[in-house]
A and B are shown apart, each in its own frame.
Chain A
């Protein structure tokens, strides 16, 4: 029989469904938690990035006033309600040291890795990965990457050497990953370690103990890739180990409902909705202590955002749209910048709306929003626009405008790492090598 019959395939699928039933049934879906005991315990500190593509418009975003009373330009309007919780960092440059400015590549990669790239890949670990190495090992996920435009390769997070942490692109996929099989409700009260999880953990440990044979016969380049493989394997093993421990109850953790199926793509109307839904899931992942590090992308570098019926995308607009002589800017391009900013405003508001411990979730977070260029029309990587939200558990001051005055953008990455407890005193290469913390924001 060269091919299974249609009937056989159907039966096979049915059988597959029956098999999946044997996975642990999750009573957590029925439980809304709320019986937590841990009042007063210090809340974990979380770090996240929030990326938007194609920068800002000159004269419409960057405040002219420094310090606490910074002015709100048209493209900062969406941040206004959270002004005292959000700092603006302007004037921090990605320095290319004579390397070509790869359009929409150099800025984001340079900002995140501290190295001006020569290609489109991360030449070194991104600082969020260095932070997750420090704070990510006690949660189920070392970090979560999310893309509101649906493309899994839209990520600036990775360990370097060609490896990129792919993003979750659909609300349904994110929901399953977070709250599907493997999730334990911290507030359910009952806990019994699953023997299947115990067995799986031992199997993965055994596989990683086998590594010597292969490692001893490979060259340096392949060994590096094997190291990355074993790092990845250990993370899965660690997730299993966490599933075997009884979780601490968490008052703010409420299991969300599965999101409705919606369209995923570059159309701005869909992106706004998907960003909201995925932000809500992410917020609960934080409140339920599933991760402490995240990377959210609203759109891509060289954004493919479109409006229904428009023949050209956000990215094409930034280059082809004329600067309106009366307005002094590109009105169609600006439309998209404002939608991005509204996205971040929503995100900050959502974190601020969740009570946690003695404050809000936002108080226990540090969220760094940034783009890959300043003015997209010219691909400038000087003055990468940056916004910083949250109090980081009281470690930072908020609501300031600080101008870096053309100092390296690696100062931002260095400062983020230091606040999150990474022991590092200098970071970046070439002209971006720096040991100058942005001390103005330290509490």
Chain B
């Protein structure tokens, strides 16, 4: 479901999403470039035109292999071939590393046989569409002299041009030759030039150089090579591979000098596509990938349905992007902002009338208990059970997700006897039930960390709708945070916005996201330095992104080999995460 993120709301605020290959337009721009480079190809079948391929295969040591996420895969294909090329398939999930980001999971993720089978299916389907009668004029302008025979020069030009966007660097002459020979053999077997051409393209699409972002170091091993730098920049800012400008900058060595790097970083930051990068980051950071898969009990929560499960994270992403990118507002205010977006389905849950169809900007009333990120349905519903809210899950998410403070798992022999049943006279509200539960000191150790942050959100039920009572008993929404007492979601939002912890956590997560490594394996002192700049820059998200992009640490190869025991934290569904009451 993550992959559909970028397909949502693409017409928002009348903006046009620009393609990566030109300032003018997407998709078609590449087609123009292709047509230009392939002129003459149709009539003469000689060696592939010079200059399209790199002089030699990349030789640097590989210092990282990060698996493409579903949204990156989809975005890359849409950027290169346009949105009418359908990507139909089931993506194997990249697991989060333990309580961390999917982005760090990609550095450890391995492809299973079933996962490869799906990649193979998708690759063939994409390659067939690209070379079909409708699209071949756009992407393969050189018709072969005889459509039943191989046409090496034509195939070579096609692979050189398309290949560099797919593997994010120019293909070496050896690689081009390999794909040309592969296509030629397939043409010979099938008796169809385009069938052969499409199988060669499918081969690129299942190659490890496409499915993984293969990062290479320079000869001295001190930093990444230019193309790997370009990829890091582009995936951080736009969640897709480098465009033509960025690849050219990499080939000229511009990214190795401060001025050239700055120019490219600023160009990417200024683009409307930054929004797409921010969406990818916040989906990962806020665990919104899980929100798309939420299910709720239909009897308990009649207003919830699969469409709402898509609306909730979309609302959260719109709110975050509007706040941080469009209005360039400080990050801490994300916890107090009253600005959000609403559609009719969510209007039912938020109990507000929505006159028009589609998404509308919406300002929450100033005296409302609902404010900021914590008041959004996505956060409230995601950190709840199927049939009821969970102060502990919510408190844990505030600690772990928003403040980067891990909360230990409960012991295996946990005793929930104080938590039994639902609505006896003394146990009508979650606060009453939890109070009994935490009379056990073993449980109290963790619950005193989580519950005081979750109980104040109890005015919102398991899908985020407002309520003043649970099982007929009034809800007590007081809590305390950093030695200050407060009431309700709005009160907690105020205190969170005054605390440095969430902003520091965001800095750490952006750094982890950028390099695909967990906190303990980040360059020493980097997060501190970034945080200082973030603070000095008024907690503007763009400033943080720019500081990351310009710092040498962003391009530093990991100092040592990954320890052998380090594996992605792929846990069987339900294990651990749901263990909290």
Interface residues, chain A, with chain B CB atoms under 8 Å away: 1-4, 8-9, 11-13, 15-16, 18-20, 22, 53, 100-106, 108-109, 119-123, 142, 145, 149, 151-156, 158-159, 161-166, 173, 195-196, 198-200, 202-204, 206-207, 210, 213-214, 217-222, 224-226, 228-229, 231-233, 235-236, 239, 265-266, 300-304, 306, 308-313, 315-316, 319-322, 372, 377-379
- Does the CB pair B128–A322 fall under 8 Å? no
| Cβ-neighbour of B386 out of A151, A199, A213, A304 (below 8 A) | A304
Q: Which of B150-197 contact A (CB under 8 A)?
A: 178, 181-182, 185-186, 189-191, 195-196
- Tell me whether A319 and B419 are in contact (CB under 8 A): yes
Chain B residues with Cβ below 8 Å from A105 are 571-572, 575-576
Contact of A217 among B61, B129, B561 (CB under 8 A): B61
Asked if A203 contacts B84 (CB within 8 A), the reply is: no
Given contacts A229-B111, A320-B416, contact A162 B185 (CB under 8 A): no
Q: CB-nearest residue of chain B relative to A219?
A: B561
Contact A316 B98 (CB under 8 A): no
Q: Is B27 an interface residue (CB 8 A)?
A: yes
Does B109 reach chain A (CB closer than 8 Å)?
Answer: yes
- Listed by A's residue number, 18 A-B pairs whose Cβ atoms lie within 8 Å are A4-B27, A9-B84, A12-B134, A15-B133, A104-B576, A105-B575, A119-B567, A121-B95, A153-B573, A162-B108, A199-B189, A202-B186, A207-B207, A265-B295, A302-B572, A311-B300, A311-B386, A321-B421
Q: Which residues of B contact A (CB under 8 A)?
A: 10, 16-19, 25-28, 57, 59-65, 82-86, 90, 92-93, 95, 98, 108-117, 120, 124-125, 128-129, 132-134, 178, 181-182, 185-186, 189-191, 195-196, 199-200, 202-203, 206-209, 211, 214, 216, 293, 295, 297-300, 385-388, 409-410, 412-414, 416-417, 419-422, 561-562, 564, 566-576, 578-579, 581
Report yes or no: B108 in contact with A104, Cβ–Cβ below 8 A. no
Q: Is the CB of B116 within 8 A of A229?
A: yes
**Separation of A101 and B83 alpha carbons in the complex (Å):** 48
Beyond A199-B186, A221-B561, 12 additional pairs, beta carbon < 8 A: A3-B26, A9-B84, A102-B412, A105-B572, A122-B570, A162-B568, A166-B112, A198-B189, A199-B195, A226-B65, A228-B110, A228-B112
Contact B65 A222 (CB under 8 A): yes
Given contacts A9-B84, A266-B295, A320-B581, contact A158 B112 (CB under 8 A): yes
By the criterion CB–CB under 8 Å, are A232 and B113 in contact? yes
- Cα–Cα distance between A55 and B84 once the two chains are bound (Å): 48
Which residues of chain A are near B95, meaning CB under 8 Å? 121, 153, 162, 164
Report yes or no: B571 in contact with A219, Cβ–Cβ below 8 A.
Answer: no
Q: Which 4 A-B pairs have the closest CB atoms?
A: A120-B571, A12-B84, A311-B387, A302-B574
Which residues of the partner chain B approach A145 to less than 8 Å between Cβ atoms? Answer: 114
Give the residue of B28, B134, B190, B579 whose beta carbon is less than 8 angstroms from that of A1: B28
Using known A-B contacts A200-B199, A316-B385, determine if residue A154 contacts B573 with beta carbons closer than 8 Å. Answer: yes
Closest to A197 in B: B189
A199 with B27: CB separation less than 8 A: no
Contact of B575 among A123, A233, A301, A313 (CB under 8 A): A301
Known: A162-B570, A379-B412. A228 touches B111 (CB 8 A): yes
Contact of A123 among B84, B186, B413, B567 (CB under 8 A): B567
In the docked arrangement, what's the CA distance between A206 and B214, Å?
20
Taking A12-B84, A173-B90 as contacts, is the C-beta distance between A120 and B569 under 8 angstroms? yes
Q: Is B182 within 8 A of A206, CB to CB?
A: yes
Residues of B within 8 A of A16 (CB): 86, 125, 129
Contact with A322, one of B28, B117, B385, B420 (Cβ below 8 angstroms): B420
Most buried by A among B59, B60, B111: B111
Inter-subunit contact B83/A109 (CB<8 Å): no
Partner of B420, one of A149, A220, A320: A320
Contact in complex: B299, A308 (CB < 8 Å) = yes
Q: Is the CB of B182 within 8 A of A2?
A: no
Task: Across the interface, name the chain A residue whose C-beta is closest to B60.
Answer: A217
Closest B residue, CB atoms, query A101: B412
Q: Known interface pairs A12-B84, A312-B388, A321-B420. Does A104 touch B128 (Cβ–Cβ under 8 Å)?
A: no
Residues of chain A within 8 A (CB-CB) of B181 are 206
With contact pairs A301-B575, A320-B416 given, residues A195 and B190 touching in the complex (Cβ less than 8 Å)? yes
Distance between A301 CB and nearest chain B CB, rounded to angstroms: 5
Q: Is A154 a contact of B572 with CB atoms below 8 Å?
A: yes
Q: A228 CA to B109 CA in the complex, in Å?
A: 10
When distances are taken between beta carbons in the complex, the residues of chain B under 8 Å from A266 are 295, 386
Residue of A nearest to B58 (CB): A217
Cα-based distance from A308 to B564 in the complex (angstroms): 46
- Select one of B86, B112, B572 contacting A163, CB under 8 A: B112
Nearest residue, chain A, Cβ from B67? A225
Query: How far apart are the CA atoms of A231 and B199 in the complex, in Å?
Result: 20
Task: Select which of B84, B116, B409 is within 8 A of A103 by beta carbon.
Answer: B409
| A194 and B297 alpha carbons, distance in the complex (Å) | 48
A311 contacts B566, CB within 8 Å?
no
For A377, list chain B residues within 8 Å (CB). Answer: 416
Contacts of B125 in A (CB 8 A): 16, 19-20
Indicate if the CB atoms of B132 and A2 lie closer than 8 Å: no
Closest CB in chain B relative to A327 CB, distance in Å: 15
Instruction: Give A204 to B28 CA distance when docked, in angstroms.
Output: 31
**Which residues of the other chain, A, contact B93 by a CB distance below 8 angstroms?**
152-153, 166
The distance in angstroms between the C-alpha atoms of A306 and B64, with both chains bound, is 42
Q: With both chains docked as a complex, state the minimum distance between the C-beta of A403 and any C-beta of chain B, in angstroms.
A: 24
B residues near A218, Cβ cutoff 8 Å: 61-62, 65
Q: How far is the CA of A106 from the CA of B409 in the complex (A)?
A: 13
Query: Which of B84, B134, B298, B567 sits near A121, CB closer than 8 Å?
Result: B567
Known contacts A220-B564, A232-B113, A316-B581; decide if A195 and B189 are in contact (CB<8 Å).
yes
Min CB distance, A215 to chain B, in Å? 9
CA distance A214 to B412 in the complex (A): 44
A218 to B: closest C-beta gap in Å: 4
Asked if B572 contacts A108 (CB within 8 A), the reply is yes
Q: Which residue of A is nearest B64, CB measured?
A: A222
**A162-B109, A218-B65, A313-B385 given as contacts; is B206 within 8 A of A207 (CB)?**
yes
Nearest to A4 among chain B residues (CB) is B84
Give the CA-CA distance A195 to B572 in the complex, in Å: 41
| Given A199-B186, A236-B117, A221:B564 Cβ within 8 A | yes
**Nearest-neighbor residue (CB-CB) of B183 within chain A:** A203
Q: Which residues of A have CB within 8 Å of B62?
A: 214, 217-219, 222
Chain A residues in 8 Å Cβ range of B115: 166, 232
A210 proximity list for chain B (CB < 8 A)? 178, 207
